[in-house]
Structures are given as structure tokens and as C-alpha cells.
Structure 1
């Protein structure tokens, strides 16, 4: 009774969802990813910042360019997933602020004029959006395999040569394959993680 979502939705998004290690051969369409994005773009961010960018890696050539920068344990699953997405932070996100957050004129040139500030705010807010993206993938009935085991700087150079995007993580996406899930590891109980003051 404490949650608005019914048990089926809770199971889909949380209880029965796991990080996938293998995927079925079933393709993931652009329409599915666009539907996921149209849902998760509503995630809360500071000043309505929208710095998250998705680069869909579909061609075998692009896949191999990415695989070479993944850690050894992530290479094969990245090579064989139906779809892999590079989630990155757009460092020029502030250019859209007059349109996305018109309530504070001049915000683009005051708070976000410095690259270091943009990178800090962009990375934090893109990470918020990335968490929602993983939930969106689950809401579409797909499994996600998020990975940070990669050389992010090399991925940036390989895919974002202009230096205007910074890789956050790489996510394999698809229907789960055979033996896709490891046993769930323990989590902290609410009594261990929640403090009331």
C-alpha cells in the first residue's frame, strides 16, 4: 500500500530486473529506443538540463571500434548484444538553456560560462538521466547491461573527436539471452541506509 505502482510494474522495473550478461538475437529497433527516450526525457534535472546523449552502436565496424576500448570481461557481451548505446554528457548542453529553461534569462552565460562548471553539472545531471534510461529500457520489456569497465577517454576520442562529449557508461540492450542473469547480490536494508534526523 505504500507504493503507487502495482506489483507487476514493481517486478518489471525492480524486483525481477537484473543486469543482463547475455542477450537473445532479437533486434532492438530505433522506435523502441525513441519511445524509451520520450519517456525518460521527463526525468528531473537541475534547471531542466538535458545533457545526456545516446550514441547507438549498430554497425559491425562501429561495434569493433567500441569493443577495443572495453575491459576484457565486457568485450564479448558488447560484441554480441543486439544493441549497444554509449551514454555521454554533452558539454554544450547550455546552448539549449534559453529554450529549455527560459525562467532565468542569461543563465547560459552566467552559471554555465565556464567549461569546468558545465562539465560538473552536465555529468551529474546526465547521470540522473542515465539512471532513468535504465528504468526506461526495463519499462520497454528489455534488459540492460550497463558497464563502466572501459577506457572512457579512448571512447571519447574514437566516437566524439571534437571533445564536446564525455562518455559516462556503455549499455548493452536487448531481450535477455540464456543464463543472462547472475544471482542477485545482497543490498543494504532500509534500516541500514535510511536515517531520520
Structure 2
């Protein structure tokens, strides 16, 4: 790939992007939520395992189902967000290998191996969660990812008969720039990286 993004694109995805906690009263369309997935699904995962599963919360009724599982500090911003995504990992992702990785029988190499299943699902759903945020930003949305919720009770509420486990949640919408906190610093290259 010889082409690179312009500075405008890099600013949109990284340099000027922020984590939002306050939202403008502007809805997010179902089509845009579909478009997020249609972009993120092309990001790589190990052996194309693709364990991410998403539940989008938009209705008042669904928000009320979500409310009791949120940490106190996350309630108001989540209730105000136009949409909230529960990003979960399918703990039976390996059942999709015959379709997603037909070159070899990988399904049987996961059966009964709980540690391998857990590590693979978590690692790759987290990776896909990063793609999710970049896709949402690329489509003009702001994001408010968070982990302040009770995974166990949320999973019982939203995935009672599915082998899904929540990874993190992410509020989506059009952020209120006037309510942003000052941006936190980041580590410099030499503090975080080595070239050997």
C-alpha cells in the first residue's frame, strides 16, 4: 500500500480524537451503526477468528436495562449518549472456523481448551474493539469507551442464552466539545518503544 492518509484523516482518527463524556442531542442512525461494523470486520484477527459481537443500545427501554449494570460515574453520560455499544467476545467463536478459516480444521484444536479459548477471544475482541473505535471516528462519530460496569450482571441481562462475555462498552454520538476536559499527556516514543 503506497498511499497514506492525509493529515486531516490522521487528525480525525488519532491526533484530534478525544474520549467524550457529554453528547449533543443528535441521533445516530442504524445505518451508521451498520457501517461501523462493515468497516471494522475487515481488520485482521488471528486465523480470522472474529470473536467480536456487538449489541447496540439506543431505545429508552434498552438504556434502562443497561443502567443498573453501570458504575455510578458512568450512568449519566451513558444515558445521555445517542447510542451505546456493548462489545462482547463470543466464547464459541471457534464454531465459525469452518466458514471463516476453511483452509484447515482449527475448530478441533480449540475444543476443551478453556485457557486458549479465553485468551484468543479476549485478545482478538479487544483488537476488534480498537477497529470499532477507529471505524466510528472515520464515519464522523465520537466515542466514549469505558470499562466501568458489572460484566457478570450485564452478561446475564443481555446474553442469557449465548456464550458471549462483555469486554467493554462504548458510547457513540456527536460529542459536546465545550465539555471536554484538558487532554491528558501521552508517553514519548523513547519512553514506550525500543528499536532493536
- Report TM bin, short chain: over 0.9
The CA deviation at 1:113 is 4.1
How many residues are aligned here? 194
- Residue by residue over 1:35-92, the C-alpha shift from the partner in whole angstroms, topping out at 9 and shown as x without a partner, is 1111110111100011101101122121111111111110001111100110000112
> 1: CA distance between counterparts of 2:146 and 2:41?
21
Q: Which runs of 5+ in 1 are unaligned?
A: none
Q: Secondary structure, in 3 states, of the residue corresponding to 1:138?
A: helix
Q: In the alignment, is residue 27 of structure 1 matched against residue 35 of structure 2?
A: no
Name 1:87's counterpart in structure 2. 87
Aligned CA RMSD, in angstroms, stands at 1.4
Instruction: Measure the CA separation in 2 of the matches of 1:89 and 1:124.
Output: 9
Measured against aligned partners, the alpha-carbon deviations of 1:2-21 in whole angstroms (never above 9, x if no partner) come to x9211100110011100011
SS at the partner of 2:187?
coil
Aligned to 2:193: 194
- After TM superposition, the structure 1 stretch with the greater mean CA deviation from structure 2, 106-115 or 123-132, is 106-115
TM-score (norm 1): 0.94
Residue 109 of structure 1: how far off its partner (Å):
1.2
Within 2, Cα distance between the matches of 1:145 and 1:135? 12
Query: For residue 18 of structure 1, what is the aligned residue in structure 2?
Result: 18
Of stretches 42-51 and 169-178 in structure 1, the one that deviates more from structure 2 is 169-178
SS in 2 for 1:131: helix
Q: 1:109-136: CA deviations, max 9, x gaps?
A: 1234433321221111000000110011
TM-score when normalising by structure 2: 0.94
Match of 1:135, SS state, is helix
SS of equivalent to 1:150: coil
* 1:149-160 correspondence to structure 2 within 5 Å: 149-160=148-159
